Amino acid sequence: MSKNNKAPSGLAIWLGLAESSFQKQKTVRFGDASMVTGGRFWSILTLFILAVLWTLSGVYKWTDPIFWPSPGAVAGQFATTATEGYRYFTLWQHTGYSVFRVITGVFFGCLVGIPLGFAMGLSTVLRGLFDPIVEFMRPIPPLALIPLVVLWFGIGEEAKIILLFLTAVFIMTIAARAGVSSVKISKVHAAYSLGATKWQVLRYVILPNALPEIFTGVRTAMGVCWATVIAAELVAANVGIGFMIMCAANFLQSDLVVMGIIIIGVIGFAIEIVMRSMETKLIPWKGKG
Amino acid sequence: MTELAVKHVSMRFALPGGDGVQALKDVSFTLTTGELLTVLGPSGCGKTTLLNIIGGFLAPTEGNLTLNDVPIKGPGAERLMVFQDGALFEWLSVEKNISFGPDMRGAPKAETEKVVSDLLKTVGLQGFGDKAVYELSGGMQQRVALARCLANDPKLILMDEPLGALDALTREKMQELILKLWKETGKTILLITHAVEEALFLGERLFVMAPRPGRIVKEYRLPFAERGLEEDPRDIKASSEFIKKREEILSMIWEMEEEIMGRQ
C-alpha cells in the first residue's frame, strides 16, 4: 500500500521506465497516444547493443572487413582523413563544399521561389500561369534531372548549384503560396481599416503571416537538397562528401564509405537542429494565430 | 461630429438557378454623434452583412451610405471595426498592435508612444505593452483590439459580436468597459450581438432585425446604458423593467424563428 503513494523519480519517467502518478490512474491505455513516452531507456539499450555487436563483429571477423568495417577501422580512417585529407582535399573541404552547395542552392531557390509563391498567392492570372509548371516539376525527383543538367551545364560547380536550385525553388514557391493563402481575412480587413495601403498590407500583414510556412519550406528544402547534393556528387564531382564515398567505394575502402555515411547523417541531423532552433527564435508566434 | 446615414440599403446575392438570397432589404437609419446603437437578431437576419457594408468591406446591391455626407466606398480609419476573434497581429507585441494604425500613417513616434501608454491605462492593460498578444487571455485580447481601434480616434466604432468568444464573467466586465469607454470618449458606437441581455444593457438605442429578408423590425430607446454608468449592472439586469423588456424581445425573436420554421 505504501509503495503506491511514492511519486516516481523524474529520471525514471524520462527513461520510460515508470509512469507519472497521473498516468498510473488511467484505465484506458492501449490507443492513448500520450501514454507512449520517449522510452529512452530502450533507445539507450538499442544503441548499446548495436555498439557491442559492431565491436564484436570487428574483433571476431564475422564478415569480410571489405563488406563491413570494424568501429576501430572507421575511427582510424577518420583520424587519417582528418589529418591527411583525401584526394587533394581536406575533410573540412569535402564537407564544406557539400554544405556550401546546399546553402547556395537553397538561397537562390528562396530568392526566386518566395516572390513567385507570393505572386501566385495574390493573383489569379499568375497562379494560373505558373501552376502547371510548378505542380508538374515539384514531384520530379531531382536525381532524375541530373542527366539533363549535366548535359546542359556540364559537371562543374554551376551545374550542381543549378540542380539544387531547381530542387529548392519549387518547394519554396509552394510554401510561400501556402503562407500567403493562410492569412485570415479578418486580419487583412483590420489592416485596411486601420489605414494600411496595399503595399503595407503585403509587407506588414501578409509577409509576417507567411513566415512560418516559408520557414517550414526552407527546412524541407534544406533536407531534400542535402540528400540531392550527395547524389549529384556521386555522379560528377571531384570534391565533396558524396564524391568521397563514391571514390572510396570504387577502391573498396569501406571504412571510408561508412565514415562518410556517418558524417552525412550527422550533418543532415545538425542542419535540422539548427533550422529548428532558428525557427523558435525568429518566429515565436508560429501556430498561435 | 459623426453622422452615419444609411439610405435604402439592400443586399441581394444572386444564386445560379434564379432564386437569390435577400440578405438585406431596404434598410434605412441615421446614427448621430455619441449614440450607442446595438443591433440584435437571430442568425441570418443580416446584421453582420449590414456591419460589413458600413465597414466598407461589401458594397450594397442597392442604396447608399454616407458618413458626414461622404459616401462610403471602402474600409477606412474613420469607421473602425472590432472583430469577434480580435484579428490581432500575433507577430507584433501589444504595443505594436495598438500603434499599428498610427505607424502605417507615419505618425511621429513620441506622439504615438503617449497615445499607446494612455490607452493601455484606459483599457486596464498597463504593464502588458511588451507582451506577445498570444500570451493574453481572450478578454485581454479584446481590450487590445479596442485600444487598437481607439488609437486612431475613429468617428464611428463598429463591433462585430466582440464579446461572443468570452466567458460569462469576462463578458460582463467587458460590457462595463465598453460603457466606460463610451462615456469617457463620447464616441459613436454600433455593436451587433445575438445576446439579448447584452443588447439591452449596452444599447441606448436598439434595433431588432428579422431574417428573410433581412430588415429592421423594431426600434427601442432604452435607459439601461445610462444607468449602467452609475448603478451596479447586476441590479440593472435583475430589475423588473429589464426583465420585462428582455422577455418581450425574446418572444419576438422566438416568433420570428417559428415563422421561419413554419414556412419551411
Give the pairing type, strands B205-210 and B215-221.
antiparallel
The pLDDT score that the predictor gives to residue A2 is 47
Residues of B in contact with A196 (CB under 8 A): 100, 104
Nearest to A200 among B56, B57, B104 (CB): B104
Q: Is the domain A84-282 a CATH 1.10.3720.10 member?
A: yes
Smallest CA–CA distance, residue B156 to chain A, in Å, is: 12
Contact criterion met (CB below 8 Å) for B178 and B189? yes
Smallest CA–CA distance, residue A283 to chain B, in Å, is: 8
Is B75 within 8 Å of A189 when comparing Cβ atoms?
Answer: yes
Tell me how many residue pairs between chain A and chain B have CB atoms under 8 A apart: 65
In whole angstroms, give the CA distance from residue A96 to residue B219.
76
Residues of B in contact with A189 (CB under 8 A): 55, 57, 75, 81, 83, 87
Smallest CA–CA distance, residue A196 to chain B, in Å, is: 6
- C-alpha cell at position A158: 554551376
CA distances to A6, A25, A32, A41, A48 from A13, rounded to whole Å, are 13, 15, 17, 10, 20
The pLDDT score that the predictor gives to residue B100 is 95
Interface residue of B91, B94, B115, B157 to substitute, partner A, most A CBs within 10 Å: B91
- Identify residues of A whose CB sits under 8 angstroms from chain B CBs: 184, 186-187, 189-197, 200, 204-205, 208-209, 211, 283-285, 288-289
Is B104 within 8 Å of A208 when comparing Cβ atoms?
Answer: no
* Interfacial B residues in 118-157 facing A (CB < 8 Å): 132, 134, 148, 152
Is B148 within 8 Å of A194 when comparing Cβ atoms?
Answer: yes
Ranges in chain B, pLDDT < 70: 263-264
> Quick one: which H or E segment has residue B24?
strand B20-32
Specify the domain boundaries for CATH 1.10.3720.10 within chain A.
84-282
The pLDDT score that the predictor gives to residue A11 is 84
The reply to whether omega before B213 is within 30° of 0 (cis) is yes
Q: Which residues contact A35 (CB under 8 A, 6 or more apart)?
A: A19, A23, A26, A29
What is the C-alpha radius of gyration for chain B, rounded to an integer number of angstroms? Answer: 19
Tell whether B106 is within 8 A of chain A (Cβ): no
Smallest CA–CA distance, residue B36 to chain A, in Å, is: 20
The pLDDT score that the predictor gives to residue B65 is 94
In whole angstroms, give the CA distance from residue A223 to residue B50.
50
How many CB atoms neighbour CB A236 within 10 A? 16
The pLDDT score that the predictor gives to residue B194 is 87
Nearest to A285 among B75, B90, B100 (CB): B90
Is B57 within 8 Å of A189 when comparing Cβ atoms?
Answer: yes
* Grouped pLDDT means (10 residues each) for chain A, 289 residues: 66 84 88 85 92 89 85 89 86 91 96 96 95 92 90 89 94 96 93 94 94 95 92 85 90 90 93 92 85
Is B76 within 8 Å of A186 when comparing Cβ atoms?
Answer: no
Interface residue of A188, A189, A192, A193 to substitute, partner B, most B CBs within 10 Å: A193
Residue of B nearest to A209 (CA): B91
Q: Which of B217, B211, B221 minimizes the C-alpha distance to B257?
A: B211
The pLDDT score that the predictor gives to residue A1 is 46
Residue of A nearest to B76 (CA): A193
- Provide the β-strand partners of residue B9: B27
Q: What is the domain partition of chain B in residue ranges?
A: 3-78+156-234, 85-153
Residues of A in contact with B56 (CB under 8 A): 193
Contact criterion met (CB below 8 Å) for A259 and A77? yes
Q: Looking at the domain that runs over B3-78+156-234, which CATH code has it been given?
A: 3.40.50.300
Residues of B in contact with A184 (CB under 8 A): 85, 87
Nearest to B89 among A187, A195, A197 (CB): A187
The pLDDT score that the predictor gives to residue A88 is 84
The pLDDT score that the predictor gives to residue B206 is 95
Q: What is the SS3 assignment for B73?
A: coil
The pLDDT score that the predictor gives to residue A14 is 82
The verdict on ipTM greater than 0.85 is: yes
